[in-house]
Structure 1
Amino acid sequence: MLRVWREVDRYRGGDEAAGIETRHAFSFSGFYDPGNVRFGLLVACNEERLAPGAGFAEHPHADVELVTWVVEGELTHEDSAGRRVVVRPGDVQRLSAGRGIRHVERNAGAEPLRFVQMWLVPGVFGGEAEYEVVRGIADGTPYALARADAVLHVRRLGAGERTAVPDAPWVYVHLVRGGLRLGGELLGPGDAARVTDAEGLEAAGEASGAEALIWEMHSEPSYG
């Protein structure tokens, strides 16, 4: 089954006065919909837009996998382990929070920043926090999460180019830019498709091409 969630239907959040605009795909913070709290292991897919100088002050995370994809601009990450890293378009950032870590995310540059941050439930809770940045990840290279039964696929397609969608119980497709045709549906920037029991599905780039983030997930959260 394939269901499309349009960008226009995302929950709006953030703090306009502070230069922060957020678009939530799932229930998050002050936005709660009991019918839309997760899909597979994915519990958040937030598109963040930060004006120059704006950012999120130090805050904690625990027992969650945070994966970030920068669309434009530069994201500065600082955390309680002493790291200070700048993440740019084409990089994949992973923060495995483990039993707990604190971090800051901000736009220290002179240009607007836009990034997509996705939260997934790990298969095992606790442990030490981990951090990684993969610079300039190649198209089609799968990025597997060590602590979650999930794989991220980055797909960049030209007009008319096609790609297979992974066969999996849960597949989440977020279109970053361009146009993408998937299972008879046309996705635009910010749109997402949630596919259950995906098998033999293909995606094709439209006239403007496409950049998509595709999550392949093989389990649901287990809290017991």
Structure 2
Amino acid sequence: MYRVIDVRRSGDRYPGGEPEAGIESRHAFSFGPHYDPDNLRFGAILACNEEHLAPGAGFDEHPHSHTEIVTWVVEGELTHRDSTGHETRVRPGDVQRLSSGGGVRHVERNDGTVPLTFVQMWLAPRDPGGAPGYEVVRGIADSTPYDVPAAGAMLHVRRLAAGGRTELPGASHVYVHVVRGAVRLGGTELAAGDAARVTGEAGPQTLAVSDAELLVWEMPE
């Protein structure tokens, strides 16, 4: 039977970024100077960051290694460039994955004229190292699973109309992030930016209080 082991409210996230440079970050897990030994990971997930970039703002080239990085754009358009030669623009509805392998460098910017908001999730690979990899799935359909086999994890995108219901997957670890709207899970209401970390084997039902969009990670370990 599932039980919600932790509900993290949007307002409880650790603040970060450089607001004076147009970068505002909100971290769900221990990150940078906000060290919490009891909040280092959940299943394969190491980070779930909400990033807000003003027009013209962005993260200059920086390195990553031994991490699967999955990005979901909420609004605006993200420009991505990396040291393996990829340059893409990621839009709402697209799933971007950067497998950093033994090491890769990338740039993330808002080259548009409107604010950019995206959610970026870092997952630990089962086997660190290897060659970097990259892909973008354009306009992923509702309920279409996106597999990240290197981390043993599956991402489900759920878009619900008000009053709609969905079952969470049955897995030992399930992470639910509310992108927009509000839902009721296990008797608890979650709003945009809130998240629930759930354990067990039988998926509880989620009810949309309003039109809602969810990112749901299914992890067997």
Q: Counterpart in 2 of 1:10?
A: 13
CA distance in 1, matches of 2:102, 2:203: 38
Which one of 32, 47, 59 corresponds to residue 29 of structure 1? 32
**2:123 aligned with 1:120:** yes
Q: Counterpart in 2 of 1:209?
A: 211
Q: Counterpart in 1 of 2:47?
A: 44
Aligned sequence identity (%)? 63
**2:161 aligned with 1:152:** no
Q: Deviations over 1:7-58 (max 9, x none)?
A: 0101111101100000000001111111111111101000000000000000
Q: Deviations over 1:119-172 (max 9, x none)?
A: 000111111100000000000000010211100000000011111100111100
Residue 104 of structure 1 deviates from its aligned partner by 0.2
Which secondary structure does the structure 1 equivalent of 2:11 belong to?
helix
CA distance in 2, matches of 1:148, 1:35: 21
Which secondary structure does the structure 2 equivalent of 1:136 belong to?
coil
Matches for 1:157-176 after TM superposition, within 5 Å: 157-176=160-179
Number of residue equivalences: 218
Which contiguous aligned blocks of 4+ residues in structure 1 show a shift greater than 4 angstroms? Answer: none
CA distance in 2, matches of 1:28, 1:110: 29
CA distance in 1, matches of 2:189, 2:119: 20
Q: Deviations over 1:86-134 (max 9, x none)?
A: 0000000000011111000010000000000000001111111000000
Residue 200 of structure 1 deviates from its aligned partner by 3.4
Which secondary structure does the structure 2 equivalent of 1:147 belong to?
helix
Residue 198 of structure 1 deviates from its aligned partner by 4.3
Structure 1: give runs of 5+ residues left out of the alignment.
Answer: 220-224
CA distance in 2, matches of 1:80, 1:97: 10
**2:83 aligned with 1:80:** yes
Structure 2: give runs of 5+ residues left out of the alignment.
Answer: none
RMSD (Å) for aligned C-alpha atoms: 0.8
TM-score, normalization by structure 1: 0.96
Which secondary structure does the structure 1 equivalent of 2:141 belong to?
coil
- What code does the residue aligned with 1:133 have? V
Which secondary structure does the structure 2 equivalent of 1:8 belong to?
helix
CA distance in 2, matches of 1:57, 1:106: 8
